[in-house]
Amino acid sequence: MFSAIADKVKQGYPSIVFPEGTDERILEATVRLKKEGILNPILVGNEDEIKAKALDLQLDVSELDIYNPATYEAFGDLVDAFVERRKGKATPEEASKILQTPNYFGTMLVHLNKAAGLVSGAAHSTGDTVRPALQIIKTKAGVKKTSGVFVMVKEDQRYIFGDCAINIAPDSNDLAETAIEAAKTARVFDIEPKVAMLSFSTKGSAVSPETEKVVEATKIAQEKAPELVLDGEFQFDAAFVPSVAKKKAPDSPLNGEANVFIFPSLEAGNIGYKIAQRLGNFEAIGPILQGLNKPVNDLSRGCNAEDVYKLALITAMQGLAE
């Protein structure tokens, strides 16, 4: 999967910004990305500090672009654009201070098309990554909330799990929106989406406010995106195992072949992807933030350099697909 993505990204050779320029994992991954000619990494931070850290790690960053907010020549343009984007919520003085923060600075580079996307989170919380994106890049027209999905990979198997990162207690509209955006994300990675709206009930086998929320979400998503192969509500086995699907949902278009799974809550999604990761030995790539005008993606603070490398590929692929 990732070699194919790398080959596609190479053709566009986009720039991707990394606000955590002194992080060991970021440095290792960006040097590799540059050396392999896949994309152009932009590191944010103090150049002397980044080079000193790289020297300690025996990494050559001489070919990488390094932008320091304190010395960036076009910083005034970023300030003006930020003030305009925030529509009176920040003065130029406040904007100058805010944009010294690497995540805000990096997000403005993406907003102004200096980079195709951003990868952060190795040393910052999800909120530190998402907040600048929501304030500056914002969600696409018709999308009210961003959501976070994982690409689950094991050999030639690929699935999309969402929302596993952002919305704690989504309502029916949120779930429908996540499902439609997750289908778009699937297509970016050559997965023809078959979307299952998950619950602890299959087609009315149990009735409660929790199951009715998913039933309603399914109707909303089907009305908004009638072209999608999408159905619910489903227990996981009825969505994934053909023999179970024949018994529990014989009339469903999914036929037990779902590859995009929409969980009814963040609690369920987070638990679900980690079970697949730890017990099923799936690689969890993400969270990939969807619904934004331009790609901004969040690493886990427990990530390694390989995770950074792969999420950078995904971010670049999203940027080229915009």
pLDDT tens for the 322 residues of the chain, in order: 778 888 888 898 999 999 999 999 999 999 999 999 999 999 999 999 999 999 999 999 999 999 999 999 999 999 999 999 998 788 999 999 999 999 999 999 999 999 999 999 888 887 888 899 999 999 998 889 999 999 999 988 999 999 998 999 999 999 999 999 999 999 988 899 999 999 999 999 999 999 999 999 999 999 999 999 999 999 999 999 999 999 999 999 999 999 999 999 999 999 999 999 999 999 888 888 999 999 999 887 888 999 899 999 999 988 887 6
How far CA 189 is from CA of 148, 149, 291, 316, 320, in Å, comes to 16, 13, 16, 12, 12
Length of the chain (residues): 322
Q: Let me know if the fold of 1-138+294-322 is the same as that of 141-291.
A: yes
Q: What is the number of other CB atoms lying within 10 angstroms of the CB of residue 215?
A: 18
CATH architecture of the domain with range 1-138+294-322: 3-Layer(aba) Sandwich (3.40)
Q: Are 92 and 79 in contact (CB under 8 A)?
A: yes
Query: Which stretches does DSSP call E strand in 19-79?
Result: 40-44, 65-67
The torsion region of residue 25 among left (phi > 0), alpha (psi -120 to 50) and beta comes to alpha
d(CA 154, CA 131): 32
What distance in Å separates the CA atoms of residue 131 and residue 121, rounded to the nearest whole number? 12
Give the amino acid at 108: M
pTM: predicted TM-score of the whole model, two decimal places: 0.85
Tell me, which fold does domain 141-291 have in CATH? Rossmann fold (3.40.50)
Domain ranges across the chain: 1-138+294-322, 141-291
